[in-house]
């Protein structure tokens, strides 16, 4: 199982519309990716590790797939449309990481 994580670094003055992200963007992405997408999750940053410190990320989105190849095959045909929706909820440039998930 792999996880595609989309990190949105917290930046002063940059907004992030979590309502739009979870009610419009994530459902659209899941629909476009079809059965290849095994699950989605969204996180909203609340705080950093030190008391009173801000979160490192405004938000993080997660998508689960069986393999990198399954993700790439599902994402490629819809990449432009998915990326074009980002300005509807933020001006933050996302950072993407693909991870191998180990469960115990």
pLDDT in tens, 10-61: 999 999 999 999 999 999 999 999 999 999 999 999 999 999 999 999 999 9
pLDDT in tens, 59-88: 999 999 999 999 999 999 999 999 999 999
d(CA 89, CA 14): 10
Task: Parse the chain into domains and list their residue ranges.
Answer: 2-46+56-100
Closest CA to 8 of 67, 98, 102, 96: 96
Tokens 């994530």 sit at which residue?
26
Tokens 């996880």 sit at which residue?
3
pTM for this predicted structure: 0.93
Cα separations in angstroms, 96 against 8, 26, 50:
9, 15, 25
| Architecture of the domain whose range is 2-46+56-100 | 2-Layer Sandwich (3.30)
């Amino acid at each position: 199982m792999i996880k595609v994580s989309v990190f949105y670094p917290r930046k002063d003055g940059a907004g992030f519309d979590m309502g739009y992200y979870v009610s419009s963007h994530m459902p659209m992405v899941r629909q476009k990716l079809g059965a290849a997408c095994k699950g989605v999750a969204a996180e909203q940053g609340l705080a950093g590790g030190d008391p009173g410190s801000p979160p490192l990320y405004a938000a993080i989105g997660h998508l689960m797939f069986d393999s990198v190849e399954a993700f790439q095959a599902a994402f490629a045909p819809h990449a432009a449309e998915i990326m074009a929706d980002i300005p509807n909820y933020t001006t933050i440039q996302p950072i993407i990481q693909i991870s191998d998930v180990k469960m115990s």
